[in-house]
Amino acid sequence: MKKCPSCGTEIPDDASFCSSCGASVSNIILSDKKSRFCPHCGKAIEGDVSFCPHCGKSLKEGKGEQTTKSSFSFDTSSLKKVPPRSVALWVVLSILTCGICCYIWYGMLVNDINESIEDDWDTSGWLAVILSIITCNIYTIFACYKMGKKLETSGNDFSVLVAIISLFIPLISIAIIQDKVNTILGK
């Protein structure tokens, strides 16, 4: 049995929430043995470790902050190589060229994000452009969703938003993603 950190009620070891107060108890230390559960994958962890041996994610939480559930990590050395791009300039160029510059911008953005953020999604920007053209922009919805997931920081997940917007106007989704990249880089 383990105890709820909020109200102190004893609850079963496999419970994720307290039956008395509803607080999350998935990552607390068990009262009768030295094991705890990973807040990311939910598997039991033995001993005093900093990273989950099952999923490899950090078990340390900051003061008052929750660990993000994003599975992507930023490579700061690669982020410095990503050039900031003017959202307004690229929107105007995309409109003036009837969308041709939008595809160029989209391809460069996919490449920049793939080079900067580790993930198993390794589609190059130019392959993403070709797939988007072939599928009449259906692949753009998926790519915008994936880029949004990659840029998720501090629990601010906007991937569904950019995917829905890209369903109607992909240019706005790409502009939102570029703005997020510029914000993260502080440029």
pTM summary value:
0.57
Please report the pLDDT score of residue 83 as a whole number: 78
Please report the pLDDT score of residue 18 as a whole number: 76
Please report the pLDDT score of residue 131 as a whole number: 94
Going from the C-alpha of 32 to that of each of 2, 60, 135, the distances in angstroms are: 7, 22, 56
Digitized pLDDT (tens) for each residue of the chain, 187 residues in all: 677 766 777 777 777 777 777 777 665 544 444 556 676 666 677 777 777 777 777 776 533 333 334 444 444 445 556 778 899 999 999 999 999 999 999 999 988 888 777 666 678 899 999 999 999 999 999 999 988 888 876 567 889 999 999 999 999 999 999 998 888 777 5
Q: Report the alpha-carbon distance of residue 105 to residue 50 in Å, rounded.
A: 40
Please report the pLDDT score of residue 140 as a whole number: 93
Report yes or no: 148 and 181 within 8 Å, Cβ to Cβ: no
Report yes or no: 115 and 125 within 8 Å, Cβ to Cβ: no
- Can you give the residue ranges of every domain in the chain? 1-67, 76-185
Q: Exposed, middle or buried by CB within 10 Å (0-12, 13-18, 19+), for 47?
A: exposed
Q: Report the alpha-carbon distance of residue 25 to residue 146 in Å, rounded.
A: 30
Q: What is the CA radius of gyration of the chain?
A: 21
